[in-house]
Structure 1
Amino acid sequence: MYMKIKQLKEQGFKIRRIARKLGVSRTTVYKYLEKSPEEITEWMASTKTRVRKLDPYEMLIHTWLSEHPDLSASQIHDWLKERFPKLVVGDSTVRSYVKDLRNKYDIPKTEPKRVYQAIPDPPMGEQAQVDFGETKQKTSQGKVIKLYFISFVLSHSRYKYVEWLDRPFTTKDVIQAHEHVFQYYGGIPYELVYDQDSLLVVSENAGDLILTSEFQAYRDERKLKFFICRKADPESKGRIENVVGFVKKNFARNRVFQHIDKWNDDCLAWLERTGNGNVHNTTKKRPAEVFKLEKQHLRPITKKISITSIASSITRTVRKDNTIMYESNRYSVPLGTYEINKEVIIEVTDGNRLVIREQSDGPIIADHLISTEKGKLIQATQHMRDRSKGIPAYIATVSEGFEDKETATAFLEEIQQRYPRYVRDQLKMVLKASQSVDQAIRNEALSECVKRGLYSATEFRDVVAFVQRQHPSDSDQTAASEEIKTLHYVDPALLNTKAETRELDRYLNVLKEGVTV
């Protein structure tokens, strides 16, 4: 290493180029250049005889590596800290020591290897593979922005298509890209192979895949046949994985971004010139030449589909702390938005604004400036609960329903003193109980609570129910009388009929005269 660094420096290489070429840090290059050959010799000799910090644990680490050859240095570091809490050692020290032990005792790191098998190319027009990618590019102003692309490749001819955006793709963008690639190919492949992207697939569902509503509608309209790869299985669509890497390394790397339209135009020119124009390493043919034959085997486009009605939607699940995750940051939504498995719709507008809605066509519930950092909490002021200002306003609102507002306010403030932690729940219960009855009952219930020293929302609710039972309304009485029914039906008019009565003297006179009535 010392001789290589010296030789490269004498050849005129700069420190950064030397470090990059040899795969070491610039600090290491500076350290070696500062030493003379004699100093390097002495230093190397000292490293062979010095005692290393992990030497007392050599046999223990050797035992772990012998029993578990697939152990990583970070696992060994964790096991050492678990068994020896007082041991303080850096990650790099453990990595270096484990590497030396593997070499010393010939214990190579074993990892389970997947067995691959070459698969013949499908027939012409049979299959296309689809995948997404992203890159970071420098702009003409010297800034760094993130670009996103979707790529397609015909599995037989390797004929490619790429489309870029300067913001994350939505379902509508994906559908639009499909329409563009079908026009570019002049036909539709009989099968499309996808990864399990959230823009397309909602759930794996044990094989019975559930697609997003927009993409399912598009699939039915175009009568597309899908094959969705299993999670964490990029090898099952190796052709498109190679295309994504090819686009990043051959087209995008070190290219300066000016405008998204020009970027897409340049990419189409690159596809014609290089992506589809060069000889493919595997097939040893030019994709553009093979595509001339494959194009004839594609399913024809019989109609043009309008996608203007398809909603542009990306969903995110609301977390318990009333936030959503986007690009490794947390963005707040109004308190109370969280429900189990609740999803909201997010949109990226103007390239740097994150708009959140509960429904795709509903009102905006949150609007944030997108952060370029990672692991940050972006929280709007109106989404934070100001308890010092909120409770007095809440008390004023509840007391408005009572005739004696001063007594009501004092009553509610006493509840706040007794239940500071649950004051919002208490006030909510008082408000609900008072709104369920007329003002006279709620006023009487308030007086009874104050008179008897009952300062609790549950007690106020019970008193309201008691007072209501003591003062049934006319409507309640009418309703009760209507519920009474006789055993045998009798005309209600007869129940109110009174028999005609006569004076007793008239009957006595009749008897005296002997007249039969």
Structure 2
Amino acid sequence: MKLDQEARMTIKHLAQKGQKKRQIARLLGVSEGAVRYHLKHQDDVDGRSQQPQLAAGWAEKISWYLESLGEEGPVNLAALHDWLATEHDYPGSLRSVQRYFKKHFPKPRRRARRRVETPPGAQAQVDWDEYRQLWIGGRQVRAYRFHMKLSHSRMGATVWSPRKDQLSWLHVHNEAFRRLGGIPATVRVDNEKTAVSRGAGPWGELNPSYRRYAQTVRFHIDACLPRCPEAKGKVERDIWDRQRTSDVRRRHWDSFSELQAHATDQDQALADKRICPATGTKVVEAWQAELSHLAAVPILPEPFDLVVTRRVHRDCTVSFEGRRYSVPFGLLQLRVEVRGCAQVVQVFCEGTLVAQHPRHTPERIVIDPGHYEGEATDTVLPPLPLGKMGRRLQEIAALSPQQRPVDLYAALAEVAR
């Protein structure tokens, strides 16, 4: 049995105090022979440490490599080992390079970290918290809790959601902004696919739907570096505190509404109790002072999981998800923005909602006749009005087959002549 450094020091100390070897062995749970061995060899020097190191033969190459970096801070020894093996046929292992570096080079200087308190209204931090098994409505379900915390006042808002998709991501943002009473300048997010669709951190590619949502609500998306929870430590600490003290797992909830009401009450209780480090006042008082620095909550957009730009066709329709949706004729040949929401498709032109239709309909062509009516614009004339045939067809379509009189068909035939 191999003993660690602490056990070996304990054996040496107890032996100096006069403890018998049998008593030391019984105390540590080892054999008496192990105690004798370590007492006999306690001052021995490991012969391997006296052997010449393999990497010493490449000392000049290693020194040149380190000088060429010209960087302060930790050195990537794996990259150094790859360079030695590739360029200079180094036969040793990465561990041999690590031992050589540790013996011949000082530890790199550690960089101090600057503590920054964000000014009022500058930033909010957000993240998800997952609960795999909650009793809601008489059955166990998976639920997600969204946290948004203002970095200055530490005022938080939590929103429960049964899902974690794009529509839910925008929905919980809407609810959190309403609870906080304003929009901060930036929102620091984790690298969720609903926020960063490709890559990670400041160099990642933002999710198109989330980017458009931020432009509409008017805040900047600040994606933190991957594997750096300290970059959004305020919301991470809030999640840790809630997981440690929350009773949501021990209770049975009738619905998500009851669970959300409990979370809202808990947010208010914590704000009344805790002290804001930046101001020294209660969190709720610091939040009330910060409200004037937050942008007013606009008419928040309906959550959408897909956003595209389309040109209006000659027949005043736009293509979206394999269907054609009508828009006002005055938008002919213009480029409009089409958003796919939970139940509807919304069409925007220069930030204004111009058309709305049901989404995922069985019909592949969805028309609003009112979009073809109205006065001419400076660049577009309205479509020609329906002729006699068109009006007759509309009259027939408005009646059930049993209610259609025979003379109506005769009139239709007369018009067709």
Which category of TM-score, normalised to the shorter sequence, fits these structures? 0.3 to 0.5
- More helix by percentage: 1
TM-score with structure 2 setting the length: 0.47
The structure with the largest alpha-carbon Rg is 1
